[in-house]
Amino acid sequence: MAYSEKVMDHFANPRNVGEIADADGVGEVGNSKCGDIMKMYIKVNNGVISDVKFKTFGCGAAIATSSMATELIKGKSIDDALKLTNKAVMEALDGLPPVKVHCSVLAEQAIKTAVADYYKRQGIDPEPIVGSMTDCHDFDCES
Ligand code: FES
């Protein structure tokens, strides 16, 4: 299966690349099998993700899914961001080859880990809200 035009566009021109120096939450996840790493920074204002940036050291699909995921959560409430699934990211990109599905899982988990970090910084236990980061299936999460 070839990559969709949207995947190629987000890979070649990724949106929201970079870091947020005064981020309210930072999440880093990695996949031990392929060695790819994704880092997500969020800025939160009144429960809304006012800014988000990412740095991905990984494959083209990981870059495209991070880019699309940031576009999908920017300006959304934290609750909505937590509802974003890897499936929704893939659909927004018009699909991914089966061997690249795990790359989109990394994007979903990077957002959840950044939100968990945001709650931790507020002194709130993130697990009842975000879920356990050890619930990862085919990849490893860094807490
Ligand atoms: Fe590992 Fe894409 S091959 S994230």
Percentage of residues of the chain with pLDDT beyond 70: 92
- Does the annotation count 59 as an active-site position? no
Q: Is the pLDDT of residue 136 over 70?
A: no
- Write the residue with the smallest CA distance to atom 4 of ligand 1: 103
CA of 8 to the centre of ligand 1 (A): 15
| Domain contains 139 | no
Does residue 96 line the site of ligand 1, with CB under 6 A?
Answer: no
HSE, CB side, 13 Å, CA atoms: give it for residue 91: 6
7 touches ligand 1 (CB under 6 Å): no
Query: Residue 102 belongs to what domain range?
Result: 5-130
| 110 Cβ closer than 6 Å to some ligand 1 atom | no
Percentage of residues in the chain with pLDDT exceeding 90?
89
Quick check: is 94 in a domain? yes
Calculate mean pLDDT across residues 35-55: 97
19 belongs to a structural domain: yes
Is the minimum distance from the CB of 36 to ligand 1 under 6 angstroms? yes
- Flag whether 136 is in a domain: no
| Alpha carbon distances (Å) from 84 to 32, 34, 97, 112, 122 | 23, 23, 20, 9, 22
Q: How many domains does the structure of the chain reveal?
A: 1
**Which one of 59, 103, 136, 141 is the catalytic residue?**
103
Q: Domain for residue 143, yes or no?
A: no
The answer to whether residue 20 is domain-embedded is: yes
Task: Tell me whether residue 103 is one of the annotated catalytic residues.
Answer: yes
Q: Which atom of ligand 1 is nearest to the CA of 61?
A: 2
pTM of the model: 0.92
Q: What is the CATH number of the domain that holds 64?
A: 3.90.1010.10
Residue 126 pLDDT: 95
Residue 69 φ/ψ, nearest 5 degrees: -60, -40
Whether residue 138 is contained in a domain is answered as no
In the sheet that holds 25-30, the strands lie side by side as 48-57, 37-45, 25-30, 140-141
Q: Is 61 in the pocket of ligand 1 (CB under 6 A)?
A: yes
Residue 54 lies in a domain: yes
